Amino acid sequence: MGAMMSKLLSYHGDPAVKAKYVARVQAHAAADEIIQGDGWVNGKGCAVGCTLHDYNHERYPVELGMPVWLARLEDTIFEGLPNAVAKEFPAKFLEAVPVGVDLEPVKWRFALVLLQENTERVKGLDITDELKKQVLDAIEQVAEVNRKAIESGEWNESAARSARSAAESAARLAAEWLARSARSARSAWSARSAAEWSAWSAAEWSAWSAAEWSARLAAEWLAAEWSAAESARSAYIRYSESLLNLLSSCR
């Protein structure tokens, strides 16, 4: 039997590693070199670029002791924030991460934050009670998979498949209702989006992580729902604050 892989710990358990990257990003912020839309170009770049001096999410485990999905999530939130807030986010992100902790549970806790937001939106939709119940039940099933993962430290793929199936069924029901109902088309579309989003968030956290898609889809849904880009910006601010709180509370 091969040796067990050691658990990835933030900053490889070394305060000096954290200090190095925090200082680097703070220097870029002071020089106004943190920019949205570019990875790493001529000494300027995004959150990932200014952290690594390279736009390569795969380097986070190597240099920072952080999982790739977290690098992608940081990147997605950074790009969605208002510019002034985005410039401050990379340093706040690095500062929030304690030294020497396992960050895997953050992905499940972050998903729960967004699933709860989904739940509250669906409760207020103008759709049939049957459709609302099916969508809410699907969201809850996905949420339960994430809660169990937090408790056990492991992702249950069998339970996740069942949750995805329930969410996909709810999405199909919402799509059928949308085709029949012009009166509440926007609500039906929102219900379908909520169910589809929940199905995606029940997927295993692979290279394109569920966290990244959760943030992106929820914000885009909000923007489309209210036809206002500012709504998406506000959503990303909430997501950034939730992520920072979750990271800082890791033990």
Q: Do 96 and 193 have their domain in common?
A: no
52 pLDDT more than 90 = yes
Q: Do 50 and 24 have their domain in common?
A: yes
Residue 199 in any domain: the answer is yes
pLDDT of residue 197: 64
Residue 165 in any domain: the answer is yes
Mean pLDDT of 122-137: 84
Q: Do 30 and 94 have their domain in common?
A: yes
Q: Do 119 and 146 have their domain in common?
A: yes
Indicate the number of domains in the chain. 2
pLDDT of residue 175: 76
pLDDT of residue 200: 60
Domain range spanning residue 244? Answer: 1-102+230-251
Q: How confident is the model at residue 206 (pLDDT cuts 50, 70, 90)?
A: very low
Q: Do 175 and 237 have their domain in common?
A: no
Residue 217 in any domain: the answer is no
Q: Do 37 and 59 have their domain in common?
A: yes
User: What tokens appear for 203 in the block?
Assistant: 């997927």
Q: Do 50 and 129 have their domain in common?
A: no
In SS3 terms, the chain reads as: CCCCCCCCCHHHHCHHHHHHHHHHHHHHHHCCCECCCCCEECCEECHHHHHHCCCCHHHHHHHHCCCHHHHHHHHHHHHHCCHHHHHHHHHHHHHHCCCCCCCHHHHHHHHHHHHHHHHHHHHCCCCCHHHHHHHHHHHHHHHHHHHHHHHHCCCCHHHHHHHHHHHHHHHHHHHHHHHHCCCCHHHHHHHHHHHHHHHHHCCCCCCCCHHHHHHHHHHHHHHHHHCCHHHHHHHHHHHHHHHHHHHHCCC
Q: Do 198 and 234 have their domain in common?
A: no
Residue 189 in any domain: the answer is yes
Instruction: Please state, rounded to an integer, the average pLDDT across all residues of the chain.
Output: 83
Residue 245 in any domain: the answer is yes
Residue 220 in any domain: the answer is no
User: What tokens appear for 42 in the block?
Assistant: 């001529």
> Which tens digit of pLDDT belongs to each residue from 63-95?
999 999 899 889 989 998 999 999 999 999 999
In SS3 terms, 86-143 reads as: HHHHHHHHHHHCCCCCCCHHHHHHHHHHHHHHHHHHHHCCCCCHHHHHHHHHHHHHHH
Residue 211 in any domain: the answer is no
* Lowest pLDDT segment from 24-28, 67-71, 217-221: 217-221
Q: Do 30 and 73 have their domain in common?
A: yes
205 pLDDT more than 70 = no
pLDDT of residue 204: 52
